[in-house]
Amino acid sequence: MDYNSSLFEAIYKRSSVRKYKDEPLAHGLLKQVEELIHSTPQLDETISMKIHLVEDGSKIKNISKGIIGSYGKINAPHYLVVTSEEKPWFMENVGFSLEYLVLKLTTLNLGTCWIGGFIKKNLLKDIIEIPENHIPVIVISLGYPLNPDGFKTRDLRNNLLEDIDPNPEKYADSTAKLVAATKRKEIHEIISGELDETWLSIMDAVRHAPSAINSQPWRFVKEENIIHLYGVKRLKIAQTLEYINKIDLGIALCHLVAAAQLKGKTLELKAMDIMSKKGLYYFISIIEH
């Protein structure tokens, strides 16, 4: 895994790019993207997962009505479609791997945006070759940002909220939407336990991880040299987004690992016999050696 300073910088540079130049990536750049796809690490290498590069973005545009989410508002020249077998951790595995890829693409000044799913497999059969035991999981748009400074200037009125929330009308008020789009939880809201300056810096990188409707559904508990990662349980309608929350946990873990390795930390990821807490479910533990 290549967790270097440029990847750490990409954590703060990345944003959800929704508007793209109407031109394909240069041939050499597409080749770089393909190489990155093939070298992207997984959280669990035993899970069969595939990242499909759809070079002709119009093919995804043409099936937009069959996918939950306002695809019509994101018109990109290329897309990444992720498929995976269904096993324990497969959603978290997708989140971890794809966020690593997104950060690497950000270092190339390419724009991306996570787009919510429930993608019908039959809609993709003429676009990508899906392994028999795989299901489509999520889509990521890809291209040159329309705004040259697009990584720093976000169109908050057209936030990712509409792409993954089944009830986007509740964000009709622009002020409420702006607050939901920009407010990040403070470090003490996502982790309990004593943190030194290095771990404060690492957890700040976690704060900048993207999540569905900016819900930041992760909580960490630090006990000496071990940090336990939990997911937030959802109630009522939000339960329909539970699968996306699992992807979000993988994304947050990717940020933690990237930042920790840059800071010289040696980590081991291990599932332990840990009880879930009220309103939380246990995912994994991060052990510092």
CATH code, domain carrying 257: 3.40.109.30
Residues 91 and 214 grouped into a single domain: no
- CA dist 285 and 289 (Å) reads 13
Look up the pTM and report it.
0.87
Residue type, 72: G
Q: Does 178 fall in a domain?
A: no
Instruction: Examine the pLDDT at 9 and tell me if it is beyond 60.
Output: yes
Residues 48 and 104 grouped into a single domain: yes
Residues 123 and 20 grouped into a single domain: yes
What are the helix (H) ranges across the chain?
5-13, 27-39, 58-61, 90-107, 121-124, 161-164, 174-182, 187-190, 197-207, 242-262
- CA dist 245 and 219 (Å) reads 12
The predicted pLDDT at position 115 comes to: 85
User: Which helix H or strand E contains 2, and what residues bound it?
Assistant: none
- In eight-state DSSP terms, residue 157 is G
- Residue that terminates a domain, selected from 154, 173, 204: 154
Domain that holds residue 231: 184-288
Q: Confidence class of residue 158 from pLDDT cuts 50, 70 and 90? A: very low
Instruction: Examine the pLDDT at 140 and tell me if it is beyond 70.
Output: yes
Residues 148 and 190 grouped into a single domain: no
Instruction: Examine the pLDDT at 238 and tell me if it is beyond 60.
Output: no
Residues 11 and 117 grouped into a single domain: yes
Query: Looking at the 3D structure of the chain, how many domains does it have?
Result: 2
Q: Does 166 fall in a domain?
A: no
Residue 198 structure tokens: 């290095």
- CA dist 101 and 55 (Å) reads 17
The pLDDT tens digits of the residues spanning 27-51 come to 999 999 999 999 999 999 999 999 9
- CA dist 68 and 145 (Å) reads 24
Chain-centroid distance, C-alpha 252: 8
Instruction: Examine the pLDDT at 254 and tell me if it is beyond 60.
Output: yes
**Cβ contact 162:115 at 8 Å:** no
Residues 21 and 125 grouped into a single domain: yes
